[in-house]
């Protein structure tokens, strides 16, 4: 196909577009005159069948044929492009051409100002169509076959780019639909600032995407179904480039930007670029299918690990290896939940996985729509605790999440134990919300006492085990609005340090001393005695569980 605007400019033919139709049109066939388009008019009809368009066809008209067309002739179908060549150029003829264009609103009407006969222009266009047909035949029988052959081999998108560069002889960048770079031409040094920014960041920044979108470029690209040159004013100082959409399964999956560095980009290059985009789309669809299958297998394996149904460690490790899991000495499970109820966390999980993978040798996750469960693997058990208390805590704080960790285990068969612990710890969070939301990371060992009490509650009425002294404090707190139970709990959790207790409750230490003395007088017991203190603390936990 011949790109009209490019063809006229390359042949130094001066023209004016006299219709309000996008002038970026492509010619696949050409004729002289409109005789083949005439239809039979109904009496009194003035219809021109303008919705029936012969795509890619150009009709070359002399001025006299304009008059015929304006005399209410009816056309069964109209050419997409109408080229008017006057016998001599003057303003009157140009106005007539505009009048003609207003009647045939769906066609692109071009008025030629250069001295050239209709036959000369017809021959030039026919010759160019023929040349491009021969070029495309060469591509189909050589270069395209070589490219398509890559799909039969175990190659990556980068291998397609390398072959495409050899054919097109210009560099390109291939991105996914979010403009993240998949691959780019590395065999040539490019000094274009736009190129350097995209390659340097490994994605196309939003300001460049927006700058590209002058005149709704991205919509026009999608509608065109073929590569377009970026025509934004903001790109004028930089290297000229054409962009093609990559589609897979009917959806946009990425883009290819071809830069005009080594040689001019011609129409046949755009057609070849479209072929490359289609091949990349096939590869993406293939990867999607493989990824979907692997995701399903991985999801099933994680489910089996969590439910504890694996028959043997050998089989578990065999399945892990088949999925490409890089296992280390130890495993643990994290339960990750939103700090605020009802908040959806699904969009954060991949980035959290990437961040966790920086500290742990292996990380995968499962998501049920509300909570995520990460399986991590690591070599050093002592380092695991430090990472949990520092790095994981930092991630949770930044993402406004809470992490509950099961204890480390040393076999895949035991992963379900760590999972159950993480799950239980998250459950404690649900009915002790007021106290546990102060922190971002909890280990099961820190909350195991609640698990013990829950198990005990299944066998006995633990309410009867609450200290009588604590019951007196509860009654006073309810009647007078005091915070004696909260003060006592903070005092125990801060290792009976008055200063630390005061800091955690944001009050003066004298206030804490006053409250502790009041508590001693109410319960009439010395809670400096470790057994008394233990009974009081467990009573507080039982009280909180009942309250929850």
pLDDT tens column, 64-115? 777 776 665 555 677 889 998 887 766 678 888 888 888 878 889 999 988 8
144 located within any domain: no
pLDDT surpasses 90 at 535: no
Give mean pLDDT, residues 348-366.
92
Angle at 351 between CA 441 and CA 417, to 5 degrees: 45
- pLDDT at residue 383, rounded to an integer: 87
Using pLDDT thresholds of 50, 70 and 90, give the confidence band for residue 489: confident
User: Is position 302 within any domain?
Assistant: no
- Tell me the residue range of the domain where 208 lies: 151-289
Domain co-membership, 28 together with 118:
yes
Q: What is the pLDDT of residue 72?
A: 55
Task: Please indicate, yes or no, whether residues 447 and 312 belong to a single structural domain of this protein.
Answer: yes
Alpha-carbon Rg for the chain, nearest whole angstrom, is: 37
**pTM of the entire predicted model:** 0.47
* Residue 542 to residue 109: CA distance in whole angstroms: 85
**Cβ atoms 85, 60 nearer than 8 A:** yes
Region of poorest pLDDT, from 124-133, 190-199, 325-334, 453-462: 453-462
Percent of the chain with pLDDT over 90: 35
The CATH code of the domain that includes 38 is 3.40.1390
Q: Tell me the C-alpha distance between 477 and 479, whole Å.
A: 6
Q: What is the mean pLDDT of residues 438-449?
A: 83
How many structural domains comprise the chain?
Answer: 4
pLDDT at 45: 46
Boundary of a domain, candidates 289, 318, 336? 289
- Entry field: residues in the chain: 548
Tokens of 220: 């026009």
Residues 427 and 512 occupy one common structural domain: no
Q: Is the Cβ–Cβ distance between 171 and 260 less than 8 Å? A: no
Q: What integer pLDDT is reported at residue 48 of this predicted model? A: 46
CATH number of the domain that residue 200 is part of: 3.30.450.40
How much is the mean pLDDT over the chain?
A: 84
Q: How far apart are CA 279 and CA 298, in angstroms?
A: 28
Encode pLDDT of 172-226 as tens digits. Answer: 999 998 898 999 999 889 999 999 999 998 889 989 999 998 888 999 999 888 8
Residue 393 in contact with residue 417, Cβ under 8 Å? no
Q: Are residues 190 and 109 in the same domain?
A: no
Same domain for 233 and 284, yes or no, is yes
Q: In which element (H, E) is residue 412 found?
A: none
Say whether 175 sits in a helix, a strand or coil: strand
Q: Is the dihedral of CA 176, 370, 301, 331 positive or negative?
A: positive
Last residue of a domain, one of 455, 470, 503: 455
Using the predicted structure, report yes or no on whether residue 51 has a pLDDT greater than 80.
no
10 Å Cβ neighbour count for 251? 12
Q: 12 burial class (0-12, 13-18, 19+ CB within 10 angstroms)?
A: exposed
Claim to verify: residue 403 and residue 353 sit in the same structural domain: yes
Helix boundaries (H) for 225-312: 267-307
CA of 221: how far to CAs of 212, 231, 450, in Å? 11, 11, 60
Residue pair 486/504 in contact by the 8 Å Cβ criterion: no
- Residue 345 forms part of a structural domain: yes
The domain spanning residue 386 has which CATH number?
3.30.70
Contacts of 82 (CB under 8 A, 6+ apart): 58, 59, 61, 100, 104, 107, 108, 109, 110
**Single residue among 429, 455, 481 that ends a domain in this structure:** 455
* 524/434 same-domain check: no
What tens digit of pLDDT does each residue of 305-355 get? 999 998 999 999 999 998 889 999 999 999 999 988 888 898 899 899 999
Same domain, 270 and 369: no
Task: Name the percent of the chain lying above pLDDT 70.
Answer: 87
pLDDT tens sequence across 293-314 = 777 888 999 999 999 998 999 9
């Amino acid at each position: 196909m011949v790109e009209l605007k490019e063809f006229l400019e390359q042949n130094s033919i001066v023209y004016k577009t006299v219709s309000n139709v996008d002038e970026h049109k492509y010619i696949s066939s050409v004729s002289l005159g409109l005789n083949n388009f005439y239809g039979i008019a109904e009496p009194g009809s003035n219809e021109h069948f303008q919705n029936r368009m012969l795509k890619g066809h150009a009709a070359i008209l002399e001025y006299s044929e304009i008059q015929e067309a304006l005399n209410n002739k009816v056309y069964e179908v109209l050419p997409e492009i109408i080229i008017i060549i006057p016998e001599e150029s003057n303003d009157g003829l140009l106005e007539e051409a505009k009048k003609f264009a207003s009647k045939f609103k769906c066609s692109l009407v071009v008025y030629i100002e250069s001295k050239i006969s209709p036959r000369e222009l017809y021959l030039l266009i026919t010759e160019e169509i023929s040349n491009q047909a021969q070029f495309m035949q060469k591509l189909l029988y050589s270069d395209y076959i070589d490219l398509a052959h890559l799909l039969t081999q175990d190659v990556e998108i980068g291998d397609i780019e390398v072959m495409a560069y050899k054919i097109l002889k210009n560099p390109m960048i291939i991105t996914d639909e979010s403009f993240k770079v998949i691959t780019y031409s590395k065999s040539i040094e490019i000094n274009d600032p736009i190129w350097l920014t995209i390659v340097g960041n490994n994605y196309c920044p939003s300001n460049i995407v927006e700058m590209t979108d002058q005149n709704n470029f991205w919509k026009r690209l999608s509608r065109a179904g073929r590569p377009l040159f970026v025509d934004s004013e903001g790109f004028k100082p930089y290297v000229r480039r054409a962009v093609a959409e990559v589609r897979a399964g009917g959806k946009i999956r990425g883009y290819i930007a071809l830069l005009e560095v080594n040689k001019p980009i011609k129409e046949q290059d755009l057609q070849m670029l479209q072929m490359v985009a289609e091949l990349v789309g096939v590869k993406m669809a293939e990867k999607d299918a493989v990824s979907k299958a692997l995701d399903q297998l991985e999801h099933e394996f994680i489910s089996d690990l969590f439910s504890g149904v694996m028959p043997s460690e050998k089989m578990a490790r065999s399945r892990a290896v088949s999925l490409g899991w890089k296992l280390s000495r130890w495993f643990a499970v994290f339960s990750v939940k939103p700090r605020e109820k009802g908040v959806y966390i699904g969009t954060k999980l991949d980035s959290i996985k990437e961040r966790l993978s920086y500290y742990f040798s292996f990380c995968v996750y499962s998501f049920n729509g509300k909570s995520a469960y990460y399986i991590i693997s690591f070599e050093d058990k002592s380092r695991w605790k430090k990472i949990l208390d520092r790095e994981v805590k930092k991630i949770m704080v930044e993402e406004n999440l809470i992490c509950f960790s099961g204890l480390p285990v040393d076999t895949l068969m035991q992963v379900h134990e760590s999972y159950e612990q993480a799950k239980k710890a998250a459950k404690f969070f649900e009915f002790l919300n007021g106290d546990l939301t102060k922190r971002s990371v909890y280990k099961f060992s820190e909350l195991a006492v609640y698990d013990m009490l829950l198990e005990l509650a299944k066998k006995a009425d633990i309410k009867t085990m609450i200290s009588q002294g604590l019951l007196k404090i509860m009654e006073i707190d309810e009647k007078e609005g005091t915070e004696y139970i909260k003060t006592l709990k903070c005092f125990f959790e801060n290792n009976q340090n008055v200063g630390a207790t005061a800091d955690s409750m944001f009050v003066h230490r004298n206030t804490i001393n006053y409250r502790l003395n009041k508590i001693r007088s109410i319960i009439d017991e010395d809670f400096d005695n470790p057994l008394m203190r233990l009974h009081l603390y467990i009573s507080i936990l039982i009280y909180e569980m009942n309250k929850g």
